[in-house]
Structure 1
Amino acid sequence: MKHCAYTLHTMRHTTFNIMLPFVFLLLICKFEYCYSNNVACFERERDALLRFKESLIDKSNRLSSWTGLDCCKWEGISCSLTTGHVLKLDLHNTIADDHFQNGYYSGLPANYSNSCLGGEINLSLVNLAHLNYLDLSLNNFSGIQVPKFLGSFKNLRYLNLGSSNFVGNIPTNLGNLSSLEHLNLGTSLGYPISNYLTSDNLNWLANLSSLKSLDMPGISICCDENWLSTINNLMSLSSLNLKNCGLNTTNPPSHVNSTSLTSLDLSGNSLDSTIFPWLSNLTRLEHLNLFGNQFIGRQILLCKLHNLVSLDLGANHFNGLIPDCLGNLTSLTSLSLRGNSFTGSIPNNLSHLCSLQFLDVSENKLTGSIRVPSNCPFYRLKDLILHDNNFKGELPDWLYKNKNLETLSLYSNSFSGPIVDSIGNLSMLNGLFIGGNKFTGSVPSSIGKLSNLNPIFQNLVSSAN
């Protein structure tokens, strides 16, 4: 019996020793943070957020929920379910979300300005040491620079300061954010939400090896001759937007490293054809926008990018015939060649683009008819934009059969013949521009069936002859 009692005592003592560390940890949890309904965040982090709030201008009282001890329940705050630390601070201006289309904002509500946060970004945020997501976009921090201390968030994976009226040079210590996967410092030009940032060079990006998307439209980087080499070494990058940055193609790299790129917007710069050899090896590209650069001639050298879904070469200086090889890009759903000096007719090979939904060849010097022979003559087209050319002849039958058409722009050409009654079958049309041609006969009454047609566009129909 004594032996049994001793054994039982020993087992209880051993069990107590094993359980003691777990009891100690639970006590720490109870005093540091708690999973009850009372407190669910660290006091140090809660105080940091409150000091941050005090430095802000919040006209619409968006942060009214920032009261009480449980900061993890405050608007825009997300915490770890296992540690209780603040991981996410998302204070982007949600009132603009429904007005964002294709990279631009239109028709912003009248109360947008009042809904913006402003003021200062308090240094207290550095106490959110576990933060991995920070979004302050679409606000109005007018006249202040991007805080240098943002470069100290070692765990940050997402940073969005886009269109919030920051000014000055981008702090180069953002290059210390080695875990960063998404960076947006850009601006939506032409609207009251923007940034006025500059960067002497892009060398500070070199250490961001995890970066997957980079958005810096409207930021002046015009003095960097080696920007493309820096971008070329970002091996994980899949989406890049450097629109309207004043870039040229000095010193293009001879070898492509950034093979992960699927979306590239370099529109509104001063690029020339010396960048084509580099671009032509980005074989994973799906979206390419080169609108508004300095490309000259007929050679495009992009015809082996067979994964391209959208291609915009508008507002350049291309001339001569439209290259037949564009018809090999059979994945294209959107193609824009507008605002160049292309001549001749639309090549038959373009009719191989059976998935095409958007075609814009307006403002060129194109001639001939648009009778495109094919097994799939643009039957999926939603937008056909041919205005300001020298096209002639009657409208083809396939055009009247395309019930997916939403926009048909033919004005300022030399189209002739009648507009047939079957135009009334294009029930999806909301934009019809056919003035400034040589059509004969009267406008068919069947156009009255086009219930989706904007009344403004109907006025243009009356001037078709």
Structure 2
Amino acid sequence: MENSSHLLVFLIAIASLCSTITISFCNGTVNVFCKESERQALLGFKRDLKDPMNRLSSWKGSGDCCSWTGISCDNLTGHVRELHFGNPFKTIFGIPDPFDIYPEEADWRYALSGKINPSLLHLNYLNHLNLSYNDFEGIPIPSFIGSLKNLTYLDLSQAGFGGVIPYQLGNLSNLHYLNLLSNYPTMKVNNLQWVSSLVLLQFLDMSWVNLSKAYNWVDVLNMLPSLMELRLSGCELGHSSPHLSMINFTSLAIFDVSDNENFGLPRWLFSLTNLDSLYLSSTFLGGPIPYGLTSMTRLRILDLSSNLLNSTIPEWLCGFDRLESFDLSVNELKGTIPSAIGNFTSIISLNLEANQFEGKIDHLLRDLCRLRELWLGYNKFSGTMFESFERFPCAANSLEQLWLSDNQLHD
């Protein structure tokens, strides 16, 4: 009987404990604090940073580091999962606006600088690291970042890193997002083979990184079957594997190789039939608009600006009824605009500036009921502009921006 009584007391105690745990979790009253070792690691990281605007003022020696600026922790374990140190400020009339940022308007007074302390290696559960739009004054990307193997997101864009990108980043096999967009002229790679290990990568931006020595860049990227967005503007790209027999990154939706004068138009490019956006600005394209584009009927954005294209606009191009933004500005295109351009029923932005187009523009407005931006300046268009608007009020009602300077149009 006594044993039964003890057992009953024990079961009541267990039931009470379980009940307490359940209620605590349901009511959100359980406080999970960050780990002491991780708090010390963060303080070590802070010690090597220069923070002129005191952005990390909440980082104190005591207290819960999960509540510090830029830190996100796991709600159940307290482990640090995300570090958000990107410069979040945009200047509007001298006032930083943390909710809206454009790279060219980042307020560099708020940039962090200094060194990246390897104490970050003690953050064993870190999966998100953002250091973008800071100013590390040309120091190389620390190779130890390649040991943060749980990272799925790494953003070092425009952070002032220079020198050779460490091949150790290839150890980050869990990465889905990698942004190395450079604002420092010395950033480069000697070999790009390490990228082929990032088989889960969906986003890659290496714009303005010198890739002139990466002769096999296409072959390397062809080993990334999950890649959806690829940006390589201004990378001094060399030969692009013209004899490549098969393209594996068929999931690619956004491809930007602007400002690469030696890119040309490799045959494999036109097999990327799932592309949503294609940027070929300033790639020294000459001659007619490439017929190979006919395979890319899913395009929503097409930028062929600042090239040497010298043909008329072909009728076949007007069949791209999904296009929302089309830029042909600063070329040597000529002739009249084909009436079939009215088939661009989805077009929102159309830029034909700085060419040698002529004739009337009535048919530009006929069926373009979603058109908001229209650039026609620096051409030879003629006719009566306001009569066109009267005849086609659909486009006239939707237009928000219109550029007509240096033509032969009249009221």
TM class by shorter-chain length? 0.7 to 0.9
Q: Is residue 2:109 matched to residue 1:114?
A: yes
Hey, what's the Cα distance between the residues in 2 that align with 1:169 and 1:159? 17
Q: Name the SS of the counterpart of 1:332 in structure 2.
A: coil
Instruction: Provide the residue aligned with 2:220 in structure 1.
Output: 230
| 1:354-413 per-position Cα deviation (integer Å, ceiling 9, x unaligned) | 111111112222222223188x53232222112222222333744353122222222222
Q: Deviations over 1:209-235 (max 9, x none)?
A: 111111111111012221112122211
What letter matches 2:36 in structure 1? Answer: E
- Indicate the residue corresponding to 1:219 in structure 2: 209
TM-score (ref. length: structure 2): 0.86
User: Is the Cα–Cα contact under 8 Å of residues 185 and 195 in structure 1 kept in the other structure?
Assistant: no
Give 1:371's aligned residue: 362
Match runs of 1:44-443 below 5 Å: 44-67=37-60, 68-96=62-90, 100-101=101-102, 104-106=103-105, 108=106, 112-187=107-182, 196-252=186-242, 253-275=244-266, 277-298=267-288, 299-372=290-363, 376-395=366-385, 397-400=387-390, 401=393, 402-415=396-409, 418-419=410-411
Query: Could you tell me whether the CA contact under 8 Å between 1:163 and 1:195 is conserved in 2?
Result: no
Q: Which amino acid aligns with 1:176?
A: N
Answer with 330-339 or 401-410: which moved more.
Answer: 401-410
CA offset digits 1:276-321 (Å, max 9, x no partner): x322222221111110002222134112312211100011122222
Q: What secondary structure, in the 3-state scheme, does the structure 2 residue paired with 1:366 have? A: strand
Separation (CA, whole Å) in 2 of partners of 1:364 and 1:202: 38
Partners of 1:259 and 1:271 lie apart in 2 by 23
Contact 2:165-2:187 at 8 Å conserved across structures: yes
Q: Which amino acid aligns with 2:104?
A: Y
Per-residue deviation at 1:268? 0.5
For the Cα contact (< 8 Å) 1:297–1:320, is it kept in 2? Answer: yes
Deviation at 1:196, TM superposition (A): 4.1
CA distance in 2 between counterparts of 1:48 and 1:98 reads 29
Task: Report the secondary structure of 2:311's partner residue.
Answer: strand
C-alpha distance 94-13 of structure 1, shift in aligned 2 (>3 A): same
Tell me by how many angstroms 1:127 deviates. 0.4
Residues in 1 aligned to 2:358 and 2:47: alpha-carbon distance in whole angstroms: 65
Q: 3-state DSSP class of the match of 2:398? A: coil
- RMSD of Structure 2 on Structure 1 (CA): 2.6
Instruction: Indicate if the aligned counterparts of 1:280 and 1:305 stay in contact, CA closer than 8 A.
Output: yes
SS of alignment partner, residue 175 of structure 2: coil
Moved over 4 A (4+): 9-16
* Matched-pair contact (CA < 8 Å) for 2:307–2:331: yes
Give per-residue Cα distances to partners, 1:180-204, cap 9 Å, x unaligned: 011111136xxxxx57411123211
Could you say which residue in structure 2 is the equivalent of 1:424? none
Matched residue, 1:41: 34
Letter in 1 for 2:138: G
Is this contact kept in 2: 1:144–1:166, CA < 8 A? Answer: yes
Q: 5+ residue gaps in structure 2?
A: 22-28, 91-97
Relative to 1, partners in 2 of residues 1:66 and 1:324: Cα closer, same or farther, differing over 3 Å?
same
What is the distance in 2 between the residues matched to 1:126 and 1:147?
12
> Deviation at 1:98?
5.4
Q: Is the 8 A contact 2:161 2:182 kept in 1?
A: no
Between 1:175-184 and 1:359-368, the stretch displaced more is: 359-368
In structure 2, what is the equivalent of residue 450 of structure 1?
none
Shift of 1:63: 0.9
Using the alignment, how far apart are the partners of 1:247 and 1:280 within structure 2? 18
Aligned in 2, Cα 1:373/1:360: closer, same or farther, shift over 3 Å? closer
- 1:11–1:283: structure 2 CA closer, same or farther, 3 Å change rule? farther
Instruction: Look up the SS of the partner of 1:294 in the other structure.
Output: coil
Aligned to 2:95: none
What amino acid does structure 2 have at the position aligned with 1:222? S
Aligned with 1:150: secondary structure? helix
Give me the identity figure in percent: 37
Q: Which amino acid aligns with 2:115?
A: E
* Whole-Å separation in 1 of the counterparts to 2:157 and 2:300: 26
Structure 1 unaligned residues grouped into runs of 5+: 27-34, 189-193, 420-465
CA distance in 1, matches of 2:41, 2:209: 31
Summarize the Cα distance change of 1:254–1:14 in structure 2 as closer, same or farther, 3 Å threshold: farther
Q: Which has the higher contact order (CA 8 A, sep 6+)?
A: 2
Q: CA deviation at 1:342?
A: 1.5
Matched to 1:261, the amino acid is: L
- Using the size of structure 1 for normalisation, the TM-score is 0.77
Contact kept in structure 1, 2:187 and 2:210, CA below 8 Å: yes
**Over alpha carbons, which structure has the higher Rg?**
1
Tell me if the contact between 2:88 and 2:101 (Cα under 8 Å) persists in the aligned partners.
Answer: no
